[in-house]
Amino acid sequence: MSSAPKIRIAIYDMDKTVTRRATYNGFLIHMAWNKSPWRLLLAPLLPLGLLLYAVKLWDRGRLKQFAQTLLIGGRVSPQAFARYLESHADLVLGRNVYQEAQWRIEAEKADGYRHVIATASYRLYVDAIARRLGFESVIATELATDSSGHVLARIDGHNCYDAAKLDRVQVWMAAQGLAREQCYIRAYSDHVSDAPLLSFADEAFATNPHPPLERLAREKGWQILNWRDGDPAT
């Protein structure tokens, strides 16, 4: 008796994997410009946060929270966000997505793959982008809310980054009733922090990799995709 066919899943990092540039700063600026333009006057304070991150007094999560507080606010109604999330997603799709990523997603869908974005970016704005790209599921960094539903400049749980991203993927699979042995998984990322997820996959793709990931990919025998110049290469 033949075994059941495996469930095909393609998991993509977002920033610099599907998109050409990181999306977080663009999101902050889009929100500030449309919601509270005066907050752009606070932008010169951002290097202070970068310095504290560089000297390892802050982690990535704390840096993101600092930038959000400056440019959007520490407590914002969901309605104030909702007004601009769709227009931000339109800008990302129009200016910042690799065409090669879209083609690959379409080809995988024709082969029966389910698509998941797993990203350290905030679900708050990733959902609208993922929906436009045809992703069925989003695993992302969550923002806390208060008792009245206002969005706080505070990460709820862990930043979806490095080993925490793989943990979140495994939690998602369990919630979907997907055992690892039932699945055939592809994973795509540009950054070496996603080595845990890439190692977990059946097929790992170092996609537009920065040098540390490219070196690791060559050591591990992972496939390398370069969409920066429109010429995928392995």
The pLDDT tens digits of the residues spanning 133-148 come to: 999 999 999 999 999 9
DSSP 73: -
Q: What is the pLDDT of residue 229?
A: 75
Average pLDDT over residues 177-200: 98
> What does residue 202 show for φ and ψ, rounded to 5 degrees?
-75, -35
Tell me the helix, strand and coil percentages in the chain, rounded to 5. 50, 20, 30
Average pLDDT over residues 64-81: 94
pLDDT digits (tens, 9 = 90+) for 15-40: 999 999 999 999 999 999 999 999 99
Q: What is the pLDDT of residue 31?
A: 96
Q: What is the pLDDT of residue 230?
A: 60
CATH 3.90.1150.10 fits 7-225, yes or no: no
Give this prediction's pTM: 0.93
Domain ranges of the chain: 7-225
